[in-house]
A and B are shown apart, each in its own frame.
Chain A
């Protein structure tokens, strides 16, 4: 999927990401931003664009935008200007969108991400600005008619624009993944692509490897899911290569991605080539940030994923890969550190979190069902020889269902406490050897690989409780005799 462009072509991609800010109310009115409400119920004169209504900015949205800009290392401008972007569309009730144009909130940021091709790479953030969302046009709801739902109209967004920095569709995806992590860590958005709270448009062009001038770009829209980012960009790249290799040219146009067919098609000419006639929004004074906002939002920023990952490597002697998995979400990272702080060794704790914990979370709406302190106790039981690893997994599953509990008590109830008494294990060993005389004979004539068979039988006889280190020792003693 990440195959480099063939035939000496280089792919150049820039991304524009729209992110819904985590606010209870809309950008310029008090309506709820809740997803999934019945159509046209979260609306008021302001977001319906009724004559005489005026926008009043949402302070929380502006603060979250400032926080995001800081998380991305941007220069935050103390004064920025709202602008109107004018175009006609049925889901745009005012006939213009309030956004920022010539003077955005923030510029000149950067975001480091792990490129699958180049290692650590840096994407430049050209600008970050605040805007309101449009409504939603539903073309397939009613026959021969378009329905409009304005619940989303006026929902606060930020647009994050990168330079033409990515050299493959895979790099674009890794950047997005990293951006999503940073946004989630910062608490500014829930980044749910399926609910439309993170949307991405891409500018794609190709050029001969080694050339410095950019080729003509096409814009790819309608990328609705993370899974499709790479596929959509690869489809557009392949279309451009095919066109140029066939002696054609690339038109500067907007392409829509069709996930079902995995193809891109040009947007109808009618739908594009707007002259947006931007001009400063006269209904809003310039956005002059109170001086305390920047330090206040800086203080709200948590340790960001890249820093945390590096710290995990250094502090807990983890591999970069393990640290990356553990820091992918803020919740998991904090959980892991909770387990370690409760006394677990960093390495086994990492294995448990990456294994049982994430698997369980994956099956249960990302819930971390076993409290970190409880997991630390469970790990201690394994380390101390009280539980086998297999038994501990069963105990974990039980703890997960119960949402916690005392691991030793649960283990006892399940009857999986490891048996270290040589007399007891010796009895199981004797029973096994007696039941399998043929195998004993074969073992004694040199077929030593049968040891694994005997151990398995002993574990079976003990219902998994026999100490897995003691059982082979006792078996060997008996068989040597």
Chain B
């Protein structure tokens, strides 16, 4: 915020999101759910759904969101706008309420690549208050390219499963055709550990969250419920305060996270998940090492779903993050941009780049933004 204000930005306000950024639909908010700006019966995506909806509705030109597992790109895709998650450590996390500290990164929404890119450029760069933040100069925006001559774009087959929504598939196929027309080499590649990404994410993110959210214990923050044990029973106080204060989804993740870090389960879950995380990173390295500059995938398996549709089944909700959570687990920069409409609903395409090479990713995005008829049906 300090950097944005210094760059001359006006702060319009705060936006709705899932409680502690946990959710994929902005339905888990104490303030109520956020509506999809094009179809009130649908969700805008989440967790940063409020920001996405406002930008899509034209209320603000750009907005910030927080990304732990796609919480900017997924709502950007649902709402038909641009959403960028920079490389981990590109933007300081100081001031961001932590969810999964090794995954969290501030992301940016904009109605155009340029709007989102400008905001990202303003907030990026070193910060001595965040020991994990890279000691790097702020991102410099590229110029809009004439063509994508010289770009090698990889299309990972694991991101195009048989049950992919047919409209999403048509939109992606059209982008691939346009990429070739723009002079890029498009090559099918493989990221073999992709199927393990969601389970891996739903071990690591809740584990870190269970620790990050421990401070909300009623001793220092918010309402305190003494649990009937009086002042003498601090455990009853914790139980009562935390039981009442956290919503159901947050409680679920705290419990999962506590479980996977427990003695006797740590090796089977948390350590295993860290190993899987390393394998996922290796998948991407292998592809980039073979000359691929960027990857292109759908951002989400379907367009925006109906409100309430997935509330009863958390696993279905989690699976809507399947294409986005790998970039958080590997720390790579990724963005979603609108690539067409299916029955009036926006579809998003995702670009994933090499670490700290956001400029290459934005260059391709500029070119696609000009060439893809993003508000037309496919």
Contact = CB atoms under 8 A, between A and B. Distances in A.
Main secondary structure of the interface of B (DSSP, over half): loop
B211 A93 contact: no
A282 B102 contact: yes
Interface stretch (B10-18, B258-266, B321-329, B354-362): B258-266
A57 B129 CA distance: 10
Contact of B132 (A51, A277, A284): A284
Interface in B220-263: 220-221, 230-232, 234-235, 238, 258, 261-263
B231 A145 contact: yes
Contacts, number: 87
A48 B221 CA distance: 11
B94 A144 contact: no
Contact of B96 (A52, A94, A275, A282): A52
Contacts of B30: none
Contact of A285 (B129, B131, B207): B131
A86 B132 contact: no
Contact of A52 (B94, B208, B232): B94
B129 A54 contact: yes
Contacts of B208: 279, 282
Contact of B234 (A55, A56, A90, A95): A90
Nearest to B89: A285
A90 B232 CA distance: 12
Contacts of B232: 144
Q: How large is the interface on A (under 10, 10 to 19, 20 to 34, 35 or more residues)?
A: 20 to 34
Contact of B94 (A54, A86, A282): A54
B97 interface: yes
B131 A279 contact: no
Contact of B219 (A57, A84, A90, A275): A90
B101 interface: yes
Interface string B122-145: 000000111110000000000000
Interface of B: 93-98, 100-102, 128-132, 207-208, 210-211, 213-215, 217, 219-221, 230-232, 234-235, 238, 258, 261-263, 266, 270
28 contacts: A51-B215, A51-B221, A52-B97, A54-B129, A55-B131, A56-B131, A86-B210, A86-B211, A88-B238, A89-B234, A90-B219, A93-B215, A95-B211, A95-B215, A96-B211, A144-B232, A277-B258, A277-B266, A278-B261, A279-B207, A279-B208, A279-B211, A279-B270, A282-B132, A283-B101, A284-B132, A285-B131, A285-B132
Given A89-B234, A93-B215, A279-B207, 18 more contacts: A48-B220, A51-B97, A52-B94, A52-B96, A54-B93, A54-B129, A56-B129, A56-B131, A86-B261, A88-B214, A90-B219, A96-B214, A145-B231, A275-B262, A277-B263, A282-B100, A282-B208, A284-B131
